[in-house]
């Protein structure tokens, strides 16, 4: 019987999607871009990162002149072929996991993302079972041409790791953040457990 993992979908987020759930050949669940975000947590929505631009409304310009409007489809974000460490571009995926204590997950690029010469900076970093926040990745364009980020793009996938090599849980949406299992860590992330 598959392990059930509760998933809280944040405003603007979408449930991770297993491309062919009847096939044993796929291990990654597709993730969808929700917004360009800060690493800080949102003060009003539990588990969500502070939104900088959700592609329909932008609270600020991350780098002057980067946003532009396309007719009828809101904003897109022009990811130029220059990696700017001083201005990291961070994508939030709009979901919070309630991983069991003996499971962890990792975000990895999809094959098509690597084919576009896009680099995800958080790839392979474990999402610990106690973390109850929106997971993210930094993104950098190493292609010679501009790449446009928009809402709902499938740039990354999440891979699960459970006991005995289990990697195919069943994801179950929950209605409220409070329906996720409680943990001591909650929103602590990016070095919150210390470096020594």
Which burial class, exposed, middle or buried, applies to 159 when counting CB atoms under 10 A from its CB (0-12, 13-18, 19+)?
middle
Asked if residue 22 belongs to a domain, the reply is no
Q: What is the DSSP letter of 63?
A: S
Sheet holding 95-97, edge to edge: 95-97, 4-9, 170-174
What is d(CA 13, CA 152) in angstroms, rounded to the nearest whole number? 8
Q: Which domain holds residue 99?
A: 4-17+27-172
Asked if residue 196 belongs to a domain, the reply is no
pLDDT cut 70: percent of the chain above it? 80
CATH of the domain at 101: 2.70.40.10
What is d(CA 93, CA 133) in angstroms, rounded to the nearest whole number? 11
Return the exposure string of 64-89: e unless at least 16 CB atoms fall within 10 Å of the residue's CB, then b.
Answer: eebbeeeeeeebbbebeeebeeeeeb
How many domains, the chain? 1
What is the reported pTM? 0.85
Asked if residue 184 belongs to a domain, the reply is no
Closest to 30 measured CA to CA, from 52, 47, 14 = 14
pLDDT 10s digits, 161-196: 999 888 889 999 999 999 999 988 766 554 555 544
pLDDT 10s digits, 109-137: 988 887 777 888 878 889 999 999 999 99
Average pLDDT over residues 64-88: 63
Task: Please tell me the predicted confidence (pLDDT) of residue 63.
Answer: 59
Closest to 94 measured CA to CA, from 167, 58, 59, 45 = 45
Mean pLDDT of the chain, nearest integer: 83
Asked if residue 183 belongs to a domain, the reply is no
pLDDT 10s digits, 16-69: 999 776 667 778 999 999 999 999 999 999 999 999 888 877 766 565 556 555
């Amino acid at each position: 019987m598959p392990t059930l993992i509760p998933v809280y979908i944040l405003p603007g987020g979408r449930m991770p999607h297993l491309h062919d759930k009847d096939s044993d050949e796929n291990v990654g669940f597709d993730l969808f871009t929700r917004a360009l975000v800060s690493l800080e947590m949102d003060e009003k929505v539990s588990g969500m990162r502070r939104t900088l631009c959700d592609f329909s409304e932008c609270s600020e310009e991350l780098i002057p002149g980067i946003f532009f409007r396309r007719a009828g489809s809101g904003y897109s974000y022009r990811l130029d072929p220059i990696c700017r460490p001083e201005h990291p571009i961070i994508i939030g995926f709009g979901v919070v996991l309630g991983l069991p204590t003996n499971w962890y997950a990792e975000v990895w690029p999809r094959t098509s993302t690597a084919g576009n010469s896009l680099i995800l900076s958080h790839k392979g970093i474990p999402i610990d079972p106690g973390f109850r926040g929106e997971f993210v990745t930094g993104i950098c364009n190493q292609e010679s041409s501009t790449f446009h980020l928009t809402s709902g793009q499938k740039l990354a996938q999440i891979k699960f790791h459970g006991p005995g090599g289990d990697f195919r849980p069943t994801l179950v949406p929950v209605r409220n953040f409070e329906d996720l299992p409680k943990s001591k860590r909650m929103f602590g992330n990016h070095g919150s457990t210390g470096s020594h």
